[in-house]
Structure 1
C-alpha cells in the first residue's frame, strides 16, 4: 500500500515554504513526515521498505500491475492489480514484499478533505480509526484517470492541482456511495460530524496535526484543544464528534503506533521505547499496549519483526 520513502515521497514538486521530508536514517527506521500537502508519489515502481513510516495525509493506492504485501498496524495485507485502497498515513505502514514488477499510483490527500465529508460519517470514522478501505466498484477508466492525476500533480501547476482535488474528492464520494470494505475485516463505530463549515474543519485538522507533532512529548489534551483557538471544552467535543475518539485516545494511539514501529524496526530496549514513544510510565505503557494489541511488547516484537525486517529489503 505504500512505497519506499525515497521513491514515493522525496520526488514531489513542493513550494519553498513547505518543509522538506527528512532523509531516511537506517539507525532510526521509523520516519514521520511533516508534510500535509495534496501531492503524488514520484515513482510508479513499488519497492520493499526497510522500515515503517507515517505521514499525516490520507494515502490512496491504485495498483496498476503486480502484487504487494504490506504490514499495517500489526497485520499483513496483500493487494494486487486493479484494486484501489486508501488509509490514514498516521497508522504505521510498510511494504514487506511485492511481485517483480509491481507498479502503482500513490496519491496523498490532506486530512481536511475527509473532515469535510459531513455526510460520510461512517466512512470517515473508519478511515480515522485505522481502516484500510477498498473500493468495491471500479470503472474501466480509473487506471487512466489515476495516471493523469499523478502527472498533473507532479507538474506543479496550481490550477491543475485544484482540478485534481475536486475530481478526486468526487471519486472518494463515489467510493462511499458504490460500496467499500475494510480489509482488516473489523467493524468501526460511527461518529457524526454535522456540516460545521470549513472554518471548524480547519480547527479539527489543526488539533490532529498538533497531536502528530507533539504526542511523543509531554502533552495533554488541554494543550491540543488550545491549539485550535477554540474554548477547550468545545474543542474537545468537536474533536470527538469529528474523529470518533477523544483527544486523549488520539495521543495514546499515536504513541502506541510509534512504539510498535520501533519494536519491529530497531534494537532499542523496551524501556527506551517506552520513553521515546511518549509514555512516562512503564506500567502505563504495558497496560495500553496489551489492551490494544492483545499481547506484551516482547512477544509482539518476536512475532512480527522477522517478517517486517525480512532479508533483502531495499534501503529506502
Structure 2
C-alpha cells in the first residue's frame, strides 16, 4: 500500500464512517452503502481515496474541492457525485458549511445500461453536478443519511432502491462535468448484464493492486474471465482498456503522494506501481500536462493553506 499520512482524527474531516484515525488515507476495504458521520464540512489534511461513488448534497454554505488537479466549488443546494478513487480533498469552505455525504457501491452505476453516459464520465474522473434539484432533495438526503447510519438492514435496502432511482433521474434530467471536459461514451447492453459483477471485481482488483506488478491476465483472473474477453467487456463498459485503468490508478496514487508526502519523485514512482522512472514521467506528463516536481510545487501550497479544525 502507498505510504500516506494518517488522518488527524474523527470529526476534523468528512471521512469514511468506518475509518480509524490511524488508518491510511487510501481506503479500499469497504464497498457498502454508508453515510458520513458528520454534517459539518472542514478543510482536510490532504487528499484521500476510497472505492465507492461519493454523493455530496450541500445543505448550507459553500465548499471547494481539490479534485484531480483542479479546484471546483459547490454551493448550497448542489448535488454532485464522483468516484472516490480519484484523489480529492476539501481545501476551503465557508464557515458553518454542511453537507450530506453518501458512499455508494460501484455496482449502482454498473447495473443499468441507461447510465452508460454518466458511468463512463464518472469512471473517467468527472465530478458530475445534477442540473435539476428537486424540492424534496434536501429532506430525502437527510433521511437517507439517518437510515444508513441506523444500520437497519431493511432501511438500507430501501435507501438502495431510492438512491438508485435518484441517480437514474440525474442521467434523465441532465448533468454537467464540473471539469468542463468531455468523455468518450461506452455502454453495456442488457445482454451483457450478467457480466456486471465481473466488471466490478476487475475494478476492485485494480484499485487494490494497481501499485503492484499486475497484468491484464491478473485482472481477468480476479473476475474468472479469459483475458481477451475481460479486455473486451471492460472496454465496452468503461471506455478504456484495462491497462489504461491500471495506469490511471497509479497516477492517481502518485499525485496524492506528491501532495501529501515528502517522498522523492523516484520513490513515489515505485510506490505507485511504476517500474520505470522514464515511463512514470511520460505517463504523468500525458495525464497532467506537467512534470511531477512542478505539479508538487504548484499544488502543495493549496493543500496546506488552511489547517483543519480540531475537536
Question: Unaligned stretches of 5+ in structure 2?
Answer: 1-6
RMSD of aligned Cα (Å): 1.8
CA contact (8 A) 1:47 1:98 kept: yes
2:209 to 206, 209, 214: 214
2:195 alignment counterpart: 200
- Partner Cα distance (1:153, 1:99) in 2: 27
Question: Equivalent residue of 2:91, what SS?
Answer: strand
CA contact (8 A) 1:265 1:309 kept: no
1:109 alignment counterpart: 104
1:274 aligns with 2:269: yes
Deviation at 1:309, TM superposition (A): 1.9
Relative to structure 1, the CA distance from residue 32 to residue 5 in structure 2 (aligned partners, 3 Å threshold; closer, same or farther) is farther
1:238 aligns with 2:242: no
- Partner Cα distance (1:277, 1:264) in 2: 14
Deviation at 1:197, TM superposition (A): 5.6
1:59 aligns with 2:57: no
- Partner Cα distance (1:38, 1:131) in 2: 21
1:283 alignment counterpart: 278
TM normalised by structure 1 equals 0.92
Deviation at 1:311, TM superposition (A): 3.8
CA contact (8 A) 1:216 1:278 kept: yes
Deviation at 1:24, TM superposition (A): 4.3
- Partner Cα distance (1:169, 1:233) in 2: 31
CA contact (8 A) 1:117 1:124 kept: no
- Partner Cα distance (2:9, 2:93) in 1: 16
Deviation at 1:275, TM superposition (A): 0.5
Deviation at 1:10, TM superposition (A): 5.1
1:122 aligns with 2:128: no
Render the CA deviation track for 1:57-106: whole Å, top value 9, x for unaligned.
Answer: 10000000011011000000011101000000000000011111110000
Say which is worse superposed, 252-261 or 120-129, in terms of deviation.
120-129
2:71 to 57, 76, 93: 76
1:136 aligns with 2:131: yes
1:23 aligns with 2:18: no
- Partner Cα distance (2:237, 2:207) in 1: 16
1:89 alignment counterpart: 84
Q: How many residues align?
A: 303
1:181 alignment counterpart: 176
Deviation at 1:34, TM superposition (A): 1.8
1:165 alignment counterpart: 160
- Partner Cα distance (1:207, 1:294) in 2: 28
1:18 alignment counterpart: none
- Partner Cα distance (2:157, 2:192) in 1: 19
Render the CA deviation track for 1:211-238: whole Å, top value 9, x for unaligned.
Answer: 0111001111110011111222111111
- Partner Cα distance (1:187, 1:108) in 2: 25
Deviation at 1:33, TM superposition (A): 3.5
CA contact (8 A) 1:279 1:285 kept: yes
Relative to structure 1, the CA distance from residue 240 to residue 80 in structure 2 (aligned partners, 3 Å threshold; closer, same or farther) is same
1:50 to 31, 41, 45: 45
TM normalised by structure 2 equals 0.93
Say which is worse superposed, 148-157 or 227-236, in terms of deviation.
227-236
Relative to structure 1, the CA distance from residue 229 to residue 58 in structure 2 (aligned partners, 3 Å threshold; closer, same or farther) is same
Question: Equivalent residue of 1:100, what SS?
Answer: coil
Question: Equivalent residue of 1:268, what SS?
Answer: coil
Deviation at 1:258, TM superposition (A): 0.4
1:6 aligns with 2:4: no
Relative to structure 1, the CA distance from residue 4 to residue 209 in structure 2 (aligned partners, 3 Å threshold; closer, same or farther) is farther
CA contact (8 A) 1:48 1:95 kept: yes
CA contact (8 A) 1:24 1:31 kept: no
